[in-house]
Structure 1
Amino acid sequence: MRSYETMYVLSPDLNEDERKGLIERFKNLIVERGGEITNFDEWGKRKLAYPIQKKTEGYYVLMNFNSSPEVSRELERVYRITDGVLRYLIIRTDE
């Protein structure tokens, strides 16, 4: 298993239930496919450096996890097709 770090920015227009639902969906995707979440941190609403889709704020979430490469590819695919995700980044942190 490899170590990964992902940060994603959710739309500020989502209500609390929708936001929590998306966060749980992403966490469950990792765990159900044999991954392990090592660190999870919700940064909350913050001002964006530049407007994205005419929005100036976003809800930031940082997550560290261990998994196989297939899980990170699937997570990226889900980020891309999910409405409400403004930006995302997944990086490999092990050597």
Structure 2
Amino acid sequence: MPLYEHTFLARQDLAQAQVDALAENATSIIKDNGGKVVKTETWGLRSLAYRIAKNRKAHYVMLDIDAPAPALAELERQSNINEDIIRFLTIRVDEHESGPSAMMRRGEKERERRSDRGDRGDRPERSEFRVAREEEVE
């Protein structure tokens, strides 16, 4: 069966549980039509490049799918009907990525970079600063 990546954007005012329910609904549509969802990734609430239907942000979800073309046609038809999904894109791929997608790896790198911002070593620790300050006050 052909391999696909299906990414959809859900409205910003939905709760995470509702977004998970949308992903679960897409998974059930694929399974009912003879396919399978290999991996599901939720990228979270992210800013959009431009406003779409008065939304400045959207919940991003990506599904790696192994299914026949009619299953994808049904998924896209249901996505068009659903008012909670503001955009979607399905592409055919030669093979699925092993491990996390590029978006998930990017998020990990940003978290690592933020955690590296800790102590630069050019000033005393906060507790040392307090002790020195208290000595000045006395």
TM-score > 0.5 by shorter chain: yes
Unaligned runs of at least 5 residues, structure 2? 96-138
State the alpha-carbon separation in 2 of the partners of residues 39 and 16 from structure 1: 18
Match status 1:46 vs 2:79: no
- Amino acid paired to 2:72: S
Q: Which residue of 1 aligns with 2:7?
A: 7
Q: Which residue of 2 aligns with 1:26?
A: 26
State the alpha-carbon separation in 2 of the partners of residues 84 and 58 from structure 1: 10
Match status 1:91 vs 2:123: no
State the alpha-carbon separation in 2 of the partners of residues 55 and 49 from structure 1: 11
* Percent identical residues: 33
Is contact 2:6–2:91 with CA below 8 Å preserved after alignment? yes
Deviation at 1:21, TM superposition (A): 1.8
Is contact 2:38–2:66 with CA below 8 Å preserved after alignment? yes
Is contact 2:27–2:36 with CA below 8 Å preserved after alignment? no
Structure 1 SS opposite 2:86? strand
| TM-score normalised per structure 2 | 0.65
Deviation at 1:40, TM superposition (A): 1.3
Larger-gyration structure (1/2): 2
More helix by share: 2
Q: How big is each residue's C-alpha offset from its partner over 1:25-59, in whole Å with a ceiling of 9 and x where there is no partner?
A: 11111112211112211000000010001110000
| TM-score normalised per structure 1 | 0.92
More strand by share: 1
Deviation at 1:23, TM superposition (A): 1.5
Q: Which moved more, 1:7-16 or 1:64-73?
A: 7-16
Match status 1:72 vs 2:53: no
The alignment's C-alpha RMSD in Å is 1.4
